[in-house]
Amino acid sequence: MPVPAPILQLTDVKTHFPIAEGFLIKRHTGTVKAVDGVNLTLARGEVLGLVGESGCGKSTLARTILQLVPTTSGTIILEGKNLTAGSTAEVLDARRHLQMVFQDPYASLNPRMTVFATLAEPMAVHKICPASEIPARVAELMTTVGLAPRFMQKYPHEFSGGQRQRIAIARALALQPRVIIADEPVSALDVSIQAQILNLLASLVKKMGLSLIFIAHDLSVVKHISDRIAVMYLGKIVELGNAVDVIERPLHPYTRALISAIPTPNPDVERARQRIVLAGDPPSPVNPPSGCAFHPRCAYAQERCKLSVPPLLATANAREIACVRLGEI
C-alpha cells in the first residue's frame, strides 16, 4: 500500500510546563511533562483517533499543535511549513489551515456574540472574501453543519448543546482549513446527540477532504470514526495502528486494559467477561516512574521495564508499539 504524503508531521514534540514557587523571586521546583516526545503523522483525508486517560496529555497535545501553548522542543510541520518557527506572517497564515473544535460548546462560544458574529469574525480577520459576501458564506456554513440560516442572529445560549457544537464546528470550518483537531467534541453532549455530531464530522471529512485528529477518552466513540488510532499514556504514544487492528488485537498492555473497559451491550456477555481493571491512578507527570511509565500498573511488568524507556517500534501491519515485552505477552 503506497503511503500518502503526510499533511501534518510531528517530530519529537515536547511540551513541558515549569512549576515555579515563591513570591516575586520564583524558584524552579519541577516540570510537568504534559507532552513528552510525540512522533505522529497525519495523512491527507485521514481520521486519526487519539485516546488515553484523563490527564495523559491529549488536550495539551492538541493545543500544542495549534500553538496555543508553546512547544518546548520538536517540530510541527503542516504542509511543509514549520509551525513552531516563530510568528512570521507565513507561519501565522499556515496556522489558519489548522483549526480546533473544543470539548465544551458551552465554554468555547463567546456568549456575547451572535452566530453571525462568531462565524463572520475569522472571515473578516483573514479577509478571505469581500465583506459583502460574508452573510452568504455564513448562511452556507450554517447549512453545511445542519443549522437553519434563519438562526443567524441568535446567541449561543438560545441553542442546545448539540446545536452549539455544530456552531463550533462551523466556526472551525470558516477558514477552509486542511486539518481539524476535535478535542473530545462529543463528551459534553447527550448520548443521543453524540452520534449526530460524529456523523456530521465523518461526512465533513469525506465531503471537504479534511484530515481530522479526533481526541477522546472512550475507545467505543473513536473506533467508528477513525482510520488509525493512537493510544497515549503520560505524554507519550504507546501504541499506534489501523483502527480495526488496535481495537481487535491490542498489543500494548495499556491498550488491552482500555479496550476491556468498553462495556458490552449484552448483559449476559458483560457479566461473564473478564475485565482488566487497572490498579491506582495514572502517575504524576511531574515525577514519572522510571523506565516504562506504565510499569507500576502493568500486570506483565518485569525488572527491565523499570530500567529504560521503551521506544516506539514499528512492527508488521504499520503498527507501532512501545513495549519491551512485545511478542512475549
Partner 1 sequence: MAATDSPARRILARLRTRPTARAGAGGVLVLIILALLAPLLANEKPLVLRWQGKTYYPAFRDFLSMPAHPDLLAAGFRDLPTFKAGLDAARGDSLLLPPIPWSPVTLDLAGRYALPFEGSHPLGADDVGRDVAARLLHGARVSLAIGLIAAGLAFLIGFVAGSAAGYLGGWADIGLSRLMEIVDSIPKLLLLLVLVAALERPTLYHTMAIIGVTSWTGIARILRGEVLKLRGRDFVAAARGLGSGGPGILLRHILPNALGPVVVALSFAVASAILAESMLSFLGFGDPNFPSWGEIIEQGRNHMRSWHLVVFPGVAVFATVTAFNLLGDALRDAIDPRLAPPA
Residue 296 main-chain phi, psi, to 5 deg = -65, -20
Angle of CA points 61, 64, 70, to nearest 5°: 140
Closest CB 126 distance from partner 1, rounded Å: 6
Question: Buried b vs exposed e over 146-161: b needs ≥16 C-beta within 10 Å?
Answer: bbeeeebeeebeebeb
Residue 60 CA to residue 179 CA, distance in Å, equals 17
Q: In what helix (H) or strand (E) does residue 171 lie, and over which residues does it extend?
A: helix 161-173
Is position 48 an interface residue for partner 1 (rule: CB under 8 A)? no
Nearer to partner 1, 56 or 134 (CB): 134
Q: Is 108 in the site for partner 1 (CB under 8 A)?
A: yes
Amino acid symbol at 73: S
Question: Among residues 102 and 254, whose Cβ is nearest to partner 1?
Answer: 102
Minimum separation from the CB atom of position 120 to partner 1 (A) = 9
- Residue from 8, 76, 174, 324 binding partner 1 (CB under 8 A): 174
Options 2, 80, 86, 111; binder of partner 1; rule CB under 8 A: 111
Instruction: Give the nearer residue to partner 1 in terms of CB position, either 93 or 248.
Output: 93
122 contacts partner 1 (rule: CB under 8 A): yes
What backbone torsions phi and psi does residue 251 show, to the nearest 5 degrees? -105, -35
Query: Which cell numbers in the block locate residue 158?
Result: 438560545
Alpha-carbon distance values, 5 to 71, 74, 94, 213, 293 (Å): 24, 20, 17, 16, 32
How far is Cα 270 from Cα 168, in angstroms, rounded to an integer?
A: 36
Name which position in 157, 192, 207, 277 contacts partner 1 (CB under 8 A): 157
Phi-psi region of 234 (alpha: psi -120 to 50; beta: other; left: phi over 0): left
Nearer CB in complex with partner 1: 174/293:
174
Instruction: Find the binder of partner 1 among 6, 74, 135, 161 (CB under 8 A).
Output: 135
Residues of this chain, 73-102, that bind partner 1 according to CB under 8 A: 92, 95-96, 98-100, 102
Distance, in Å, from the CA atom of 156 to the CA atom of 154, rounded to the nearest integer, reads 7
If binding is defined by CB under 8 A, does position 121 make contact with partner 1?
A: yes
Which residue of 14, 43, 45, 66 would you call a contact of partner 1, by CB under 8 A? 66
Binding of partner 1 by 168 (CB under 8 A): yes
CA neighbor of 95 nearest in space, from 104, 85, 105: 85
Q: Give the span between the Cα atoms of 3 and 9, in whole angstroms.
A: 14
Work out whether 309 is an interface residue with partner 1 (CB under 8 A).
no
Please identify which residue in 5, 20, 107, 195 interacts with partner 1, judged by CB under 8 A: 107
**Positions that interact with partner 1 (CB under 8 A):** 24, 63, 66, 68, 92, 95-96, 98-100, 102-104, 107-113, 116, 121-122, 125-126, 135, 152-153, 155, 157, 168, 171, 174-175
